[in-house]
Chains A and B, each alone.
Chain A
């Protein structure tokens, strides 16, 4: 796309000479491909007709904000260009959950969604508001094409804002178009004419919107309008092309690169772009081995657009700022400040001069490249979805079961996933007792699922009497993380041969004592034979739990050499949640144990132990 390289990103060029607006001018029978999927091609002429039809419907229905949620990227392109022509604004909700859609739809005059997203709208009870952008109702006579105004706001990204006002990031066509022209100048080299752009990243987020929709539109490359997530479908289709590029995310790339899956694309795939989260070094290396070049990793944010890129095989861990982007590290906290022409002035994070202070901490090198040093705030990425942990914590704390909640991200099945620690209210403990940890977690998950993307929902739950705080009264990730290290519940029981057969809800260590919060489940093997009509936990089993807890505390398995002052005060039935406390007894080497639920004591006594092998 030669003209693009000649247009400096910042030049105040006349809007109708810029590539996206001019795309809409010309022959409505132009058969040059714009987009493709498994069913066929979308042409430039078709795009002109589709935009003309939808733009006139939008104009008549009312210009203003339009909720946009379509799965098909060609439908997204038609929607955005139609809204641009009508002078309206596309609003991207942060996810397709019913409560989110309802909230975002409130400020909109209409909505655009395709069949794939219609069921979300139906679940939200707002399906009647929507138009299918590729099948608008009676377009009527075409309106005179208005000149597209590059300076008007065109898209708005919303943060979820479940417990307060969500933040809005607004972009004019100018921001999007200037940015993709800069991308073309910096990264477009290998994408020779005819390169087809495939993508697994969603255009609902800024990265996908720029890389799979606006950049191909501006550079006149055909883009894939459907999203194929399985390598077995995607790779053969890319392999049929003469030249292709892939816009993907670490979640997808990692799986596609596994077992040499990209090898058939060697010589065909000109570039792989990865963004939406950190890409592990191993995947980057594997892609380089299979394709001959490492992926182009893109670092950016919704507020700023693209900030920097790197290729592991050329740049190592260092990020190189994109042309036109200036970076600085103004404060002691190491947070990155970005001055970018692609930031819309008036952002809440922005000081009005195009500067944005981000939550990412960096170390900037002498040559202007930089290393990422983690986040200064508690914003995380799961999949390519961004989550402010405090926001989900606040929503959790609105649930009657939860007094206090803390979230963290831990690895689970190869992916960083949200894990939750809650301090339940009395009603919450009651529910935990009644439903077990799974039912308890399921209820809280339901509570969150109306507002958050499903991949963000907590994958594991721990309940504690109080959140673990350090001497400065701060919650630390290490203390929260420790609660998940010993897998409690079903998975943990299966993996531990000496498992006590109960569910450990949490553990606390004091200098002279050790406490386990435990739940006696209904499916305890130890209940077998202990009275079908009235199941009780045998005393010897309770003793076994005490010895097991002592072993966990001491870090070695002791041998039980004697028992003193042993008392079973009342029958212990399944379904109870209780505390098992072990403490050093004054009497010599023995340990005192007590199995109780508040004032209700079930068993107590002293264990005389001989230290066994570590």
Chain B
């Protein structure tokens, strides 16, 4: 699980071309959007695509569910772990 979190951190940094951010800067439970890492709506689309591509998970448009899934690296890892296709 920890290695999946690490993978997702790296995926976030490369897919979104974040500068000045290393995986160690991203706390597994810290907020990714707005406060915390400061990701925005374009990042959300890009990240959803990257996750779909890498893990075969489907990201839908349920705002409450997405808020939960995208809340932190830990939540993303949990979601990927449960739904991954490969």
Chain A residues in the interface with B (C-beta under 8 A):
116, 226-230, 232-234, 251-252, 255, 258, 383, 412-415, 436-438, 441-442, 445, 454-455, 457, 459-461, 487-491
Q: Which of A116, A227, A233, A255 contacts B45 (CB 8 A)?
A: A255
Q: Which of B19, B40, B48, B49 has the most CB of A within 10 A?
A: B19
Closest to B37 in A: A442
B34→A454 contact, CB < 8 A: yes
Closest to A232 in B: B58
Known: A228-B61, A437-B20, A489-B20. A445 touches B38 (CB 8 A): yes
Closest to A227 in B: B61
Across-interface contacts of A460 in B (CB, < 8 A) = 19-20
Q: How far is the CA of A442 from the CA of B15 in the complex (A)?
A: 20
Known: A230-B48, A455-B41. A490 touches B21 (CB 8 A): yes
A490→B17 contact, CB < 8 A: no
Q: How far is the CA of A491 from the CA of B22 in the complex (A)?
A: 8
Q: How far is the CA of A255 from the CA of B42 in the complex (A)?
A: 11
Across-interface contacts of B63 in A (CB, < 8 A) = 116
Q: How large is the interface on B (under 10, 10 to 19, 20 to 34, 35 or more residues)?
A: 20 to 34
Q: How far is the CB of A18 from chain B (nearest CB, A)?
A: 35
Q: Which of A116, A232, A252 has the most CB of B within 10 A?
A: A232
Q: Which of A383, A413, A436, A441 has the most CB of B within 10 A?
A: A413
A230→B34 contact, CB < 8 A: no
Closest to A436 in B: B20
A251→B19 contact, CB < 8 A: no
Q: How far is the CA of A454 from the CA of B25 in the complex (A)?
A: 21
Known: A491-B13, A491-B17. A413 touches B46 (CB 8 A): yes
Q: How far is the CA of A251 from the CA of B49 in the complex (A)?
A: 13
Across-interface contacts of B60 in A (CB, < 8 A) = 230, 232-233
Closest to B16 in A: A413
Instruction: Please give me the 5 A-B residue pairs with the lowest Cβ-Cβ distance, nearest first.
Output: A454-B40, A438-B20, A233-B61, A228-B61, A413-B17
Known: A230-B48, A233-B60, A258-B49. A457 touches B38 (CB 8 A): yes
A252→B19 contact, CB < 8 A: no
Q: How far is the CA of A491 from the CA of B34 in the complex (A)?
A: 22
Q: How far is the CB of B14 from chain A (nearest CB, A)?
A: 9
Q: How far is the CA of A226 from the CA of B64 in the complex (A)?
A: 14
Q: How far is the CA of A437 from the CA of B20 in the complex (A)?
A: 7
Interface string of B18-52 (1 = CB under 8 A from A): 11111001000000001000101110111011001
Q: B4 near A: Cβ within 8 Å? A: no
Chain B residues in the interface with A (C-beta under 8 A):
13, 15-22, 25, 34, 38, 40-42, 44-46, 48-49, 52, 58-61, 63
Q: Which of A229, A455, A461 contacts B40 (CB 8 A)?
A: A455
B19→A487 contact, CB < 8 A: yes
Known: A460-B19, A489-B19. A455 touches B61 (CB 8 A): no
Q: How far is the CA of A488 from the CA of B19 in the complex (A)?
A: 8
Across-interface contacts of B25 in A (CB, < 8 A) = 438
Closest to A460 in B: B19
Q: How far is the CB of B6 from chain A (nearest CB, A)?
A: 14
Q: How far is the CA of A227 from the CA of B45 in the complex (A)?
A: 13
Closest to B60 in A: A233
B45→A229 contact, CB < 8 A: yes
A455→B42 contact, CB < 8 A: yes
A414→B46 contact, CB < 8 A: yes
Across-interface contacts of B19 in A (CB, < 8 A) = 459-461, 487-491
Question: What are 29 sample pairs from A and B whose C-beta atoms fall under 8 A apart?
Answer: A116-B63, A226-B61, A227-B61, A229-B61, A230-B45, A230-B48, A232-B52, A233-B60, A233-B61, A252-B45, A255-B46, A383-B42, A412-B17, A413-B16, A415-B42, A415-B46, A436-B20, A445-B38, A454-B38, A455-B41, A455-B42, A457-B38, A460-B20, A461-B20, A490-B19, A490-B20, A490-B21, A491-B19, A491-B20
Closest to A116 in B: B63
Closest to A414 in B: B46
Known: A116-B63, A232-B59, A233-B61. A441 touches B20 (CB 8 A): yes
Q: How far is the CB of B23 from chain A (nearest CB, A)?
A: 9
Can you name 8 extra interface pairs (CB under 8 A) apart from A461-B19, A491-B17?
A226-B61, A229-B41, A230-B59, A232-B58, A255-B45, A438-B25, A488-B19, A490-B21
Closest to B50 in A: A413
Closest to B66 in A: A230
Q: How far is the CA of A232 from the CA of B21 in the complex (A)?
A: 30
Q: How far is the CB of B85 from chain A (nearest CB, A)?
A: 13
Across-interface contacts of A413 in B (CB, < 8 A) = 15-17, 46
Q: How far is the CB of A441 from chain B (nearest CB, A)?
A: 7
Across-interface contacts of B21 in A (CB, < 8 A) = 438, 490-491
Across-interface contacts of B49 in A (CB, < 8 A) = 255, 258
Across-interface contacts of A228 in B (CB, < 8 A) = 61
Q: How far is the CA of A328 from the CA of B46 in the complex (A)?
A: 39
Closest to A441 in B: B20
Across-interface contacts of A415 in B (CB, < 8 A) = 42, 46
Closest to B38 in A: A445
Across-interface contacts of A489 in B (CB, < 8 A) = 19-20
Q: How far is the CA of A179 from the CA of B42 in the complex (A)?
A: 30
Closest to B58 in A: A232
Q: How far is the CB of A155 from chain B (nearest CB, A)?
A: 23
Q: How far is the CB of A292 from chain B (nearest CB, A)?
A: 25
Across-interface contacts of A437 in B (CB, < 8 A) = 20
Across-interface contacts of B45 in A (CB, < 8 A) = 229-230, 251-252, 255
Across-interface contacts of B34 in A (CB, < 8 A) = 454
Across-interface contacts of B59 in A (CB, < 8 A) = 230, 232
Across-interface contacts of A233 in B (CB, < 8 A) = 60-61
Q: How far is the CB of B11 from chain A (nearest CB, A)?
A: 12
B61→A383 contact, CB < 8 A: no
Q: How far is the CB of A533 from chain B (nearest CB, A)?
A: 22
Closest to B18 in A: A491
Closest to B59 in A: A230
Across-interface contacts of A490 in B (CB, < 8 A) = 19-22
Across-interface contacts of A255 in B (CB, < 8 A) = 45-46, 49
Q: How far is the CA of A233 from the CA of B52 in the complex (A)?
A: 13
Q: How far is the CA of A229 from the CA of B19 in the complex (A)?
A: 26
Closest to A493 in B: B22
Across-interface contacts of B18 in A (CB, < 8 A) = 459, 491
Q: How far is the CA of A136 from the CA of B59 in the complex (A)?
A: 34
